Amino acid sequence: MTDIYAILAVALTGLALVGLFTAQNLMRRLLALNVLGSAVFMLLVVVARKADSLDPVPHAMVLTGIVVSVSTTAVALALILYAADARTQNSNQRVEHE
């Protein structure tokens, strides 16, 4: 049973890497990063499940990782929003100059 999830985690890793490097849109790249994170979490949990008795240490690591990944997502989104604002302001100024 764990093998299915191991294969899924690897497939998601590959998919997310393709998405990460071909995405034009920054939001899309962020989504790819999140999917990549989930794939890594799944690998960790599969390793925990495959151990002779359920291993709590990877679980704790994944819980920590989820909170860190929401923090990165929030920071990246804030940067994307401010960059988009700056870009529209710039283009408005250019229109006024011309």
Partner 1 sequence: MLALLLDSLLAVGTFWLAWQTLFAVSLFRGVVSFMVFGLLISLAWIRLQAPDIALAEAAIGTGVTGALLLSALGRLEDTDSPSFRRLPWFSPLFLSTVILLGLMCLSLVLVVLELPTPGLSPVVEAKMPLAGASHPVTAVLLNFRGFDTLLEIAVMLSAVIFIWSLGPAVIPKTPSAQLPGLPALAALLNPVFLLVAAYLLWRGSHAPGGAFPAGAILGAGGILMLLAGRGGWMQRDQHQGLLRLLLVAGLALFLLVALSGVIITGIFFQLSQAWASELIVLIEIGTALSIALMLMAFYLYGEPAS
Within 47-66, the residues that bind partner 1 by CB under 8 A are 47-57, 59-64, 66
Query: Cβ of residue 90: shortest distance to partner 1, in angstroms?
Result: 14
What is the 3-class SS of 1-25, one letter each residue? CHHHHHHHHHHHHHHHHHHHHHCCC
Distances in Å between the Cα of 3 and the Cα atoms of 11, 46, 98 are: 12, 8, 62
Contact 9, 58 (CB under 8 A): no
Determine, following the binding rule CB under 8 A, whether residue 86 of this chain makes contact with partner 1: no
1 binds partner 1 (CB under 8 A): yes
Nearest distance, CB of residue 92 and partner 1, angstroms: 12
Q: Given candidates 40, 41, 92, 97, which one binds partner 1 under the rule CB under 8 A?
A: 41
5 binding partner 1? (CB under 8 A): yes
Tokens representing 68 are: 């860190």
Q: How far is the CB of 72 from partner 1 (least distance, A)?
A: 7
